[in-house]
Amino acid sequence: MKTYDIEVQRLKALRHDKGVFEIKLDALVLPRPPRADDDDPSPGTWLRLPVEQARALQSLLKQQITELDKLNPRSRRSGRC
């Protein structure tokens, strides 16, 4: 498995279509060699977000999820389904 470090530079847009969120962003993507000093022995990709970008992403996701909830009938909004 290839691993990467992904650093988000700027969020540009967020939309949902057919159950999938699409995020347009500027990001720096660098290959990450496996390191022996990592706490987690399993390989994986890391996503790094500055706090302001994380807050913006959270806000955008909340907006999109609210829009999705409005499309569901009232009987499915309770979260019991």
Q: Are 47 and 55 in contact (CB under 8 A)?
A: no
- Condensed to tens digits (0 to 9), the pLDDT of residues 6-21 reads 999 998 988 888 788 8
**b or e along 6-44 (b: 16 or more beta carbons within 10 Å of the residue's beta carbon)?**
ebbeebeebeeeeeeeeeeeeeeeeebeeeeeeeeeeee
Whole-model pTM? Answer: 0.61
Instruction: List the chain residues with pLDDT less than 50.
Output: 81
Q: What is the pLDDT of residue 78?
A: 57
Query: CA of 51: how far to CAs of 23, 35, 48, 55, in Å?
Result: 17, 26, 9, 6
Q: Are 72 and 80 in contact (CB under 8 A)?
A: no
List the structure tokens of 9. Answer: 């530079």
Q: What is the pLDDT of residue 24?
A: 92
